[in-house]
């Protein structure tokens, strides 16, 4: 790794001041940042260590929801009694990510900020990567692209966001609270991550120097009808080829009142299958409805040479996850 200086602020204001320098980077668990710095993909003049900030609690908030401090470790959040009980979808997604060692290090703020990436991004031996070097091209388009996006991609980038946690947070419609040089703001989860467009070097809509302080969950955790399904090349410790977070609100008559279907492994950001959701709401779940609604999720999808299997895998995974969530399986 190239040399960098290091500061360890004790409060958020001090951290935001230090993080405002153009070559400063925040570090929480460091599991993604240090990995990328070792590969000379990321660089920092100063690392601002956030781990001593008082942001490591899970607390109730007005409206019946829960506030998750940005420094809560992924493993602690997955095991947290209140989260397991009220937001089991989030626990399940977290437990499906990485290894126990990495979950013990990784913070929830850092999980949000991990780079959307592919192997051409992480290997500087490939000259073409618009995300790493804007304007240089995309080696994945026309390269080996089994892992890559089928939805929301652009001619500049087809990388996928590898987070499992993010897929659950998209389904739960979390809100990201951030503190910046100009004060605090709240960002709806949908608006936090970006599609690549022609600026794939930007994964999120955070402004320079902004610091995530918490993730706020709304009161409804869909604890009665949920499922997280991750399909990957090996049984554990691998990124998703396709992941599905399914959350349903079903009334006593069996009618779907609300449906949240979010996908991982298919796009540059956690992907809400809005059309699928729309087709489920107001209906009773059955096999025909599910098949039609699931296929709607890939109606606008564009496969590449090695990932066309996701065109079938994604709807099949939606069907299975939704069946389990709905108590049909």
Partner 1 sequence: MGSVAAIATCAALHEPAGAQARAASPSAARAKDIEPRQVRLNVNGRPHDLSIEPRVTLLDALRDYLGMMGTKKGCDRGQCGACTVLVDGRRINACLTLAIMHEGAKIATVEGLAGDRDLSPLQAAFVERDAFQCGYCTPGQLCAATALVDELRAGEPSAVTDLRAATKPEVTDEEIRERMSGNLCRCGAYPNIVAAIRDVATSDLSKHRS
Question: d(Cα 144, Cα 212) in Å, to the nearest integer?
Answer: 34
Number of chain residues interacting with partner 1 (CB under 8 A) = 48
Give me the least distance between CB of 88 and partner 1, in Å please: 5
82 binds partner 1 (CB under 8 A): no
Query: Which is nearer to partner 1, 124 or 287 (by Cβ)?
Result: 124
Question: d(Cα 24, Cα 14) in Å, to the nearest integer?
Answer: 13
Q: Which residues inside 50-69 make contact with partner 1, applying CB under 8 A?
A: 51
Nearest one of 65, 48, 323 to 219, comparing CA atoms: 65
x-or-dash string of contact with partner 1, 98-137, rule CB under 8 A: xxxxx-xx------------------xx-x----------
29 binds partner 1 (CB under 8 A): yes
Residue 180 backbone dihedrals phi, psi, to 5 degrees: -135, 180
253 binds partner 1 (CB under 8 A): no
**Which contiguous run of DSSP H or E holds residue 288?**
helix 287-296
Query: Which is nearer to partner 1, 46 or 220 (by Cβ)?
Result: 46
DSSP structural state of residue 66: E
281 binds partner 1 (CB under 8 A): no
Q: Which stretch in 94-102, 112-120, 208-216, 276-284 sits in contact with partner 1 by CB under 8 A?
A: 94-102
Q: Which tokens in the block code for residue 107?
A: 């913070």
Bridge partners, 138 (sequence order): 129
Question: d(Cα 80, Cα 225) in Å, to the nearest integer?
Answer: 19
Which of 14, 17, 20, 35 is close enough to bind partner 1 by CB under 8 A? 35
Q: Which stretch in 30-38, 59-67, 149-157, 262-270 sits in contact with partner 1 by CB under 8 A?
A: 30-38
Question: d(Cα 94, Cα 145) in Å, to the nearest integer?
Answer: 25
Q: Which stretch in 18-26, 202-210, 241-249, 314-322 sits in contact with partner 1 by CB under 8 A?
A: 18-26
Q: Which tokens in the block code for residue 175?
A: 């809100």
C-alpha distances out from residue 90 to 11, 67, 84, 109, 217, Å:
28, 13, 8, 14, 10
Our separate counts of H helices and E strands in the chain read 13, 12
309 binds partner 1 (CB under 8 A): no
Which of 1, 10, 13, 291 is close enough to bind partner 1 by CB under 8 A? 1
283 close to 255: Cβ distance less than 8 angstroms: yes
Which of 11, 13, 40, 257 is close enough to bind partner 1 by CB under 8 A? 40
284 binds partner 1 (CB under 8 A): no
Nearest one of 317, 295, 302 to 145, comparing CA atoms: 302
Give me the least distance between CB of 171 and partner 1, in Å please: 15
Question: d(Cα 79, Cα 148) in Å, to the nearest integer?
Answer: 31
92 binds partner 1 (CB under 8 A): yes
46 binds partner 1 (CB under 8 A): yes
220 binds partner 1 (CB under 8 A): no
Give me the least distance between CB of 7 and partner 1, in Å please: 8
* E strands present in 90-236: 175-180, 183-188, 211-217, 226-231
Residues of this chain that interact with partner 1 (CB under 8 A) are 1-8, 21-23, 27, 29-31, 34-35, 38-40, 43, 45-47, 49, 51, 75, 78-79, 84, 88, 91-92, 95-96, 98-102, 104-105, 124-125, 127, 235-237
């Amino acid at each position: 790794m190239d040399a960098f200086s290091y500061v360890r602020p004790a409060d958020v204001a001090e951290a935001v001041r230090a993080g405002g320098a153009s070559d400063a980077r925040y570090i929480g668990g460091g599991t993604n940042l240090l990995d990328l710095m070792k590969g000379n993909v990321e660089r920092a003049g100063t690392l601002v260590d956030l781990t001593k900030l008082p942001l490591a609690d899970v607390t109730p908030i007005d409206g019946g929801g829960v506030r998750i401090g940005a420094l809560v470790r992924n493993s602690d959040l997955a095991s947290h009694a209140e989260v397991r009980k009220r937001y089991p979808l989030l626990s399940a997604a977290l437990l499906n990510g990485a290894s126990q060692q990495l979950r013990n290090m990784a913070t929830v703020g850092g999980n949000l900020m991990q780079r959307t990436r592919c192997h051409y991004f992480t290997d500087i031996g490939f000259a073409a990567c618009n995300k790493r070097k804007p304007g240089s091209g995309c080696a994945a388009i026309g390269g080996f692209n089994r892992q890559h996006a089928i939805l929301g991609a652009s001619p500049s980038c087809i990388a996928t966001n590898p987070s499992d946690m993010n897929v659950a947070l998209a389904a739960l419609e979390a809100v990201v609270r951030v503190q910046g040089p100009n004060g605090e703001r709240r960002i709806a989860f949908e608006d936090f991550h970006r599609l690549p467009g022609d600026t794939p070097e930007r994964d999120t809509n955070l402004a320079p120097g902004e610091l995530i302080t918490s993730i706020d969950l709304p009161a409804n955790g869909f604890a009665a009808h949920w499922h997280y399904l991750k399909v990957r090349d090996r049984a554990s410790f691998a990124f998703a080829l396709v992941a599905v977070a399914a959350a349903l609100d079903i009334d006593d008559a069996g009618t779907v009142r609300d449906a949240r279907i979010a996908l991982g492994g298919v796009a540059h950001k956690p992907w809400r299958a809005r059309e699928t959701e729309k087709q489920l709401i107001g209906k009773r779940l059955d096999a025909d409805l599910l098949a039609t609604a699931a296929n709607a999720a890939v109606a606008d999808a564009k496969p590449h040479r090695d990932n066309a299997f996701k065109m079938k895998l994604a709807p099949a995974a939606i069907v299975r996850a939704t069946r389990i969530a709905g108590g049909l399986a």
